[in-house]
Amino acid sequence: MPADPHVAIYARVSTDNQSVDPQIRDLREYCDRRNWPSPIEFTDHGISGAKDSRPGWNACWDAIQKRKVRILVVHALDRIGRSLPHLVKIINYFSQNGLTLVSYRENIDLATASGRMLAGIFSVMAEYERSIISERTKAGLRAARAKGKQIGRRAKYFDKEKAAELRARGWGQVRIARELGVGVGRVNAWVRCLRDTLC
Reported as a single tens digit per residue, the pLDDT across 33-74 is 999 988 999 999 887 766 667 899 999 999 999 999 999 999
Task: Enumerate the H helices of the chain as residue ranges.
Answer: 21-33, 55-65, 84-96, 113-146, 160-168, 173-180, 184-195
> Quick check: 103 pLDDT over 80?
yes
Q: What percent of the chain has pLDDT over 70?
A: 87
> Nearest to residue 72, comparing CAs of 103, 116, 112, 29?
103
> Quick check: 8 pLDDT over 90?
yes
Select the more confidently predicted residue: 155 or 133: 133
pLDDT digits (tens, 9 = 90+) for 153-185: 666 788 888 988 898 888 998 999 899 888 888
pLDDT given at position 1: 43
Residues 20 and 92 in one domain: yes
Strands 108-109 and 100-103, how do they pair?
Answer: antiparallel
**Mean per-residue pLDDT for 175-197?**
85
Residues 106 and 63 in one domain: yes
- What is the number of structural domains in the chain? 2
- Provide the edge-to-edge strand list for the sheet that holds 7-12: 40-44, 7-12, 71-74, 100-103, 108-109
Residues 42 and 120 in one domain: yes
Residues 112 and 182 in one domain: no
Domain for residue 89, yes or no? yes
What is the set of active-site residues? 14
Residue 65: give its domain's CATH number. Answer: 3.40.50.1390
pLDDT given at position 4: 53
Domain for residue 97, yes or no? yes
What is the CB-side half-sphere exposure of residue 180 using CA atoms within 13 A? 26
**Contact criterion met (CB below 8 Å) for 64 and 99:** yes
> Quick check: 3 pLDDT over 70?
no
pLDDT given at position 152: 64
Query: Residue 20: what residue type?
Result: V
How far is the C-alpha of 79 from the C-alpha of 14, rounded, in Å? 9
Range with the poorest average pLDDT among 75-79, 87-91, 120-124: 120-124
Task: Enumerate the H helices of 66-159 as residue ranges.
Answer: 84-96, 113-146
Range of the domain at 13: 7-126
Average pLDDT, the chain: 84
Classify 103 as helix, strand or coil.
strand
pLDDT digits (tens, 9 = 90+) for 19-29: 999 999 999 99
Residues 112 and 14 in one domain: yes
Domain for residue 135, yes or no? no
Residues 112 and 173 in one domain: no
pLDDT given at position 142: 81
**Mean per-residue pLDDT for 124-140?**
77
**Contact criterion met (CB below 8 Å) for 76 and 103:** yes
Domain for residue 139, yes or no? no
Q: Using N-to-C axis directions, what is the helix angle for 113-146 and 84-96, rounded to 10°?
A: 140
> Nearest to residue 41, comparing CAs of 18, 24, 64?
24
**Contact criterion met (CB below 8 Å) for 126 and 85:** yes
Select the more confidently predicted residue: 28 or 132: 28
**Mean per-residue pLDDT for 184-189?**
88
Domain for residue 149, yes or no? no
Torsion angles phi and psi, residue 78, rounded to 5: -70, -5
The dihedral built from the CA positions of residue 118, 119, 123 and 126, taken in this order, carries a sign that is positive
